[in-house]
Amino acid sequence: MSWLKKIDQALQKRRYQGLYRTRFVNQTGTGRWLQINDRRYLNFSSNDYLGLSQNKEVIKAWQKGAEQYGVVSGGSGHITGYTKPHAVFEETLSDWLGYPRALLFTSGYSANQALLAALLEPGDRVLADRLSHASLLEGMLYSATRFFRFEHNQIDSLQKHLKKPCSGETLVITEGLFSMDGDSASLGLLHQHSSAAGALLLVDDAHGIGVKGVEGRGSCWQEGVKPELLVVTFGKAFGLSGAAILCSEDLAQYFLQFSRHLIYSTAMPPAQAYALSVALKCVREGNHLRQQLQANIVRFRQGMQGFRNLLSTCSDSAIQPIFFKHRPSIQEVALKLRDYGLWVPAIRPPTVPKGTERLRITITAAQEFDDIDRLLEGVHLVLL
């Protein structure tokens, strides 16, 4: 079979399954409103949980950083790309979260892949929560290790795997706050059983950092847990982009020596690192934003109680997945909401398992109560 024929068949199959993905040009950037194809929509799809992407201090900081350092790092952090703004932010971040070191990456996907690629060796074993992010699962697939997925948030399932012998080392993986279901991991028990088995615990807290815990320090801080490896990202509550691995000094030095992502990738722009320091200040001082976010979540969940044809999780987070009892086409539901001026994403396989298609509604501090009420009204009209 030729490459072109193989590609054509794969695309046709994706269309036939109703899973074909389409990108849209967002004319305004993220925020309370989106403008797509010259029409405005209330935005219920953004991970900008605290609304910091539109924060004037953060925007000015990026501009100031660009004026001082230019708009690109110009190389890997091992060559010329590691600048004073990078060093300052890494130190401030590690102090804030109580770790000896922080290492910056251009994205959470990159951080997870880099960590797994550098750390795992043949004979090692990975035990990951079944609903861990695609970047983690893909990293395991491409590693030379054995990996197993324990049942979502089921400690008994993890324990069964931990009791089995392993010739190498064991790494346990979970998200702090799960990106599709909006529920939290049992971090205390996970850390307890991982430590007892001599395993390292990796927590990807992309959706918890900035939102949960004192000063927004995240899921682990809130639960009084300090995993050996913590990944935080800045494309959600920080309102920017990039990520960091928090770890011990020895692990940091190991990654600096052996992580190909760090050695061979261009570092994030200094201006971005400069802006991240200001965003961190806003996160730490943003208790009023977290309170507004929580108030919006409560208003939405209270409004959802009257819907009989819907199933929603017990999530108290900004991520509110909605399932339909009679399983209509999720894409059609999303399109009907779009007609009502609401931008709500339909999440379909392979992002989520077959049979768990859902609307993934995200609540942010930038939204107003009237926005939440319009969303509830729209969902009601779709069900008529």
What pLDDT, on a 0 to 100 scale, did the predictor assign at position 144? 74
Pick the catalytic residue from 47, 53, 110, 153: 47
Pick the catalytic residue from 175, 183, 223, 357: 175
- The tokens describing 142, both together, are 């491409």
Rounded CA separation 210/281 (Å): 11
Amino acid at 86: H
Is residue 302 classed exposed, middle or buried when 0-12, 13-18 and 19+ CB atoms within 10 A define those classes?
Answer: exposed
Q: In the annotation, is 207 catalytic?
A: yes
Taking residues 262-279, report their average pLDDT: 97
Q: Where are the domains of the chain?
A: 36-52+286-383, 56-284
Q: In the annotation, is 195 catalytic?
A: no
Confidence check: pLDDT of 89 > 90: yes
What pLDDT, on a 0 to 100 scale, did the predictor assign at position 360? 93
pTM reported for the whole predicted model: 0.94
Please check whether the domain covering 56-284 is classified as CATH 3.40.50.2300.
Answer: no
Specify the higher pLDDT residue, 28 or 264: 264
Q: In the annotation, is 26 catalytic?
A: no
* Counts for the chain of helices (H) and strands (E), in that order: 14, 14
pLDDT tens track for 287-301: 999 999 999 999 999
Q: In the annotation, is 236 catalytic?
A: yes
Specify the higher pLDDT residue, 382 or 191: 191
Look-up: residue for tokens 């990202």? 233
What pLDDT, on a 0 to 100 scale, did the predictor assign at position 313? 64
Rounded CA separation 190/173 (Å): 9
Pick the catalytic residue from 86, 212, 236, 261: 236
Confidence check: pLDDT of 7 > 70: yes
59 alpha carbon, distance to own chain's centre: 22
Confidence check: pLDDT of 27 > 90: no
Is residue 255 classed exposed, middle or buried when 0-12, 13-18 and 19+ CB atoms within 10 A define those classes?
Answer: buried
Q: Write the CATH number of the domain with boundaries 36-52+286-383.
A: 3.90.1150.10
What pLDDT, on a 0 to 100 scale, did the predictor assign at position 285? 98
Q: In the annotation, is 133 catalytic?
A: yes
Look-up: residue for tokens 């030379």? 144
Pick the catalytic residue from 73, 86, 133, 153: 133
Confidence check: pLDDT of 307 > 80: no
Q: How high is the mean pLDDT of the chain? A: 92
**Closest among 229, 91, 109, 113 to 179, alpha carbons compared:** 109
Pick the catalytic residue from 204, 223, 357, 371: 204
pLDDT tens track for 132-149: 988 888 877 777 788 899
Q: What percent of the chain has pLDDT over 90?
A: 75
What pLDDT, on a 0 to 100 scale, did the predictor assign at position 380? 86
Amino acid at 4: L
Pick the catalytic residue from 45, 53, 132, 179: 179
Rounded CA separation 203/334 (Å): 32
Pick the catalytic residue from 161, 191, 207, 261: 207
pLDDT tens track for 202-245: 999 999 999 999 999 999 999 999 999 999 999 999 999 999 99
Q: In the annotation, is 204 catalytic?
A: yes
